[in-house]
Structure 1
Amino acid sequence: MSKVIKIGTRDSKLALWQANTVKTKLEALGYKTELVPVKSTGDLVLDKPLYEMGITGIFTKTLDVAMLNETVDIAVHSMKDVPTALPIGIVQTAVLERASSEDILLTKIDFDLTKPATIATGSLRRKAQWLHRYPNHTVVDLRGNVNLRLQKLQNNEWEGAIFAKAGLERIHLLPDTHETLDWMLPAPAQGAMVVVALENDEFCKEATSKLNHTNSDICTKIERDFLRTLEGGCTAPIGALAEVVEDSIQFKGCLFSLDGKEKLEIAKSVAIANYKDFGSKCGEELLKNGGAQLMRQIKKEME
């Protein structure tokens, strides 16, 4: 264990928390580690919605390059930010035990949801689901790290903003007063942290694989397989959640039009032993039942 494992991470407060969590766990197993923070394009460019920047990998590409250049040995990511297809030479080695996958609404004042309001989010998925439920509301773009987004909420005349509960919990910024959006399906793998390493680095692959949480690994694989089957390289309002219930897995998935008016959904269960192709099959079923046509419409609107 003489090798020092260089852990690549974005330099936001949340990303550093995640990387330090992995650092602590590896050191508890007897490994030597070092953090190597870098800035990603997604952190530097804050004046454009993510989907206009080609969202796939926007927060991970800088670390991918650092790994392939061997500047860092492993990288720690919020799993929902990671493209479903990893770069050649990089492999997933561990999914840590998942935190909450829920979205929450933060508000400055109490307001009547039945009346016109302005809600902020940088997510197409959240925007579409919110407009589907509250078509008389306006949704505006919200970018930046967690602290910056919280500040923007205070500085603007918006009624509220949507956040991932896990991110706020991890850096101790979750307000006592918040509304859990239990009707909103999360992003695939929301609330999960993933570790990736170079495919030919047996030392780091073995070390980090010891951090893998089996149920979290299985559920996020199903959700990401569903996403990959639907998206075909296109950003779209897609939600998915797989949960282990006794000896089976309960799955819900959805696809919305960009304006939130059209909604397609699927709900299925499968025995844990049969999970491997489950996410892909759910995606294929949704594509057959209107999803393919809706994805063509979304791609056309985003050109």
Structure 2
Amino acid sequence: MKKTIRIGTRDSELALWQAHTVQKKLTDLGYETEIIAVKSTGDLILDKPLYELGITGIFTKTLDVAMLKGEVDIAVHSMKDVPTTLPNGFIQAAVLERANVYDILVHKGNLDFLESKGTIASGSLRRKAQWLHKYPTHTVEDLRGNVNTRLQKLKDNTWNGAIFAAAGLERINLKPDTYINLDWMIPAPAQGAMLVVAMESDIFSQEALSHLNHTETEICTHIERQFLKTLEGGCTAPIGALAKVYDETIHFEGVLHSLDGKENYTIKKSCNFEDYKSFGKDCAQEILNNGGRFLMEKLRTALKVK
């Protein structure tokens, strides 16, 4: 069987970069491809915080529909935007090798505000909670839109800075000189990784994408997303998780915060490769049993998550 693999993507600069990266890898393997870009609800509605939209997977639903209608064969996503449970009939076909996992603060050249009061911007509850935990006298404003839009909003406002995923800015060469690494901030589960999904019935695309899968990244993101899923937090919940491999051992750090950053539950553990499949779940269960379950109930009420 020979066919052109239609690659679905959002139409932002970063999303298109990701799609073209997958396209090149498939083309290098001898496959014929075509990119089809669509605009997601998350890109269209920019005047409300993500959690107020009440939709899990807001950046992926439009592509899900396009796949179900047979308009595209595969879809490329920033893995951190993808719900931990895929729709029926969809499978995780490839996880590409991870880029920079961390967040950065893009600022305006003066960092004096870090020692006093300041205002930074982020549309992520996770980033907001962790920032307020470290800088309780600061204010965090909501910031929505694609990478380019958010950088422009930072220039147009009086904020001291804004938080971005380093990988997103690096991939499209928009990382400015005025930034600091936030290596103390635990990233979103699967941050820096790209996920390609296919239909369960599409064996041709699955076979093609299997050559793109990076096993270490697949394992680490599995742990992080399992941690998130077990805590029952949606993509917008203040949950951070990071698994890394050192000396043949998987080291994991996870955190659950209250919205204001004052309350938090953290865990640091390690495991070997033989035990990784339930490791994320076990770490999340430990947090839930040590008080995190009550906090999750409060978060669900506050965020109106049913």
Question: Shorter-chain TM-score: what band?
Answer: over 0.9
SS at match of 1:136: coil
Residues 183-222 of structure 1 aligned to structure 2 (within 5 Å): 183-222=184-223
Return the alpha-carbon distance in structure 2 between the equivalents of residues 160 and 232 of structure 1.
27
Unpaired runs of 5+ residues, structure 2, are none
Say whether residues 1:147 and 2:148 are aligned partners.
Answer: yes
CA RMSD of aligned residues (A): 1.0
Q: Check 1:121–1:55 CA distance in 2 against 1; reply closer, same or farther (3 A cut).
A: farther
**TM-score calculated relative to the size of structure 2:** 0.97
Offset at 1:233? 4.9
User: Which structure 2 residues correspond to residues 275-294 of structure 1 after superposition, within 5 A?
Assistant: 275-294=276-295
- Is the CA contact (8 Å cut-off) linking 1:117 and 1:138 kept in structure 2? yes
Shifted more, 92-101 versus 271-280: the winner is 271-280
What displacement does 1:187 show?
0.1
Is this contact kept in 2: 1:104–1:180, CA < 8 A? yes
Partner of 1:11: 11
1:114 offset after TM fit, Å?
1.9
Question: 1:37 is matched with which residue?
Answer: 37
What displacement does 1:236 show? 1.7
Residues 126 and 236 in structure 2, CA contact (< 8 A), matched pair in contact too: no
Q: Which residue of 2 aligns with 1:72?
A: 72
The Cα of 1:153 is off from its aligned counterpart by: 0.4
Does the CA-based 8 Å contact 2:5-2:74 persist in structure 1? Answer: yes
Q: CA shift at 1:55, angstroms?
A: 4.3
Unaligned runs of at least 5 residues, structure 1: none
Once the two structures are superposed, what CA deviation does each residue of 1:62-118 show, in whole Å capped at 9, x if it has no partner?
000000111000000000000000000110010000000100001113132121110
Corresponding position: 1:262 with 2:263: yes
> How many angstroms apart in 2 are the aligned matches of 1:209 and 1:56?
27
How far is 1:177 from its partner?
Answer: 2.8
Query: How far, CA to CA, are the matches of 1:174 and 1:214 in structure 2?
Result: 28
Contact in 2 for aligned 1:234/1:299 (Cα 8 Å): no
User: Would you say the 8 A contact 1:55–1:235 is kept in 2?
Assistant: no
Q: Write out per-residue CA displacement over residues 140-198 of structure 1, whole angstroms, 9 at most, x where no aligned residue.
A: 00000101100000000000000000000000001123100010000000000000000
C-alpha distance 234-196 of structure 1, shift in aligned 2 (>3 A): closer
Q: Which amino acid aligns with 1:3?
A: K
Q: Secondary structure at the match of 2:209?
A: helix
Find the aligned partners of 1:268 and 1:233 in 2 and give their Cα distance: 23
Secondary structure of the corresponding residue to residue 175 of structure 1: coil
Distance apart, 1:232 and its partner CA: 5.2
SS in 2 for 1:250: strand
Which residue is 1:25 aligned to? 25
1:180 maps to what in 2?
181
Residue 32 of structure 1 aligns with an amino acid whose one-letter code is E
CA distance in 1, matches of 2:210, 2:58: 25
TM-score, length basis structure 1: 0.98
Counterpart contact for 2:83–2:235, Cα < 8 Å: no
Q: Distance in 2 between the 1:93 and 1:27 partners?
A: 17
1:216-255 maps to which residues of 2 (within 5 A)?
216-231=217-232, 233=234, 235-255=236-256
Contact 1:93 1:197 in 2 (8 A): yes
Q: Determine the structure 2 residue equivalent to 1:87.
A: 87
Amino acid in structure 1 at the alignment position of 2:215: T
Paired residue total: 303
> Would you say the 8 A contact 1:131–1:137 is kept in 2?
yes
- Give the percent of matched residue pairs that are identical in Structure 1 and Structure 2: 67
**CA distance in structure 2 between the partners assigned to 1:110 and 1:231 by the alignment:** 39
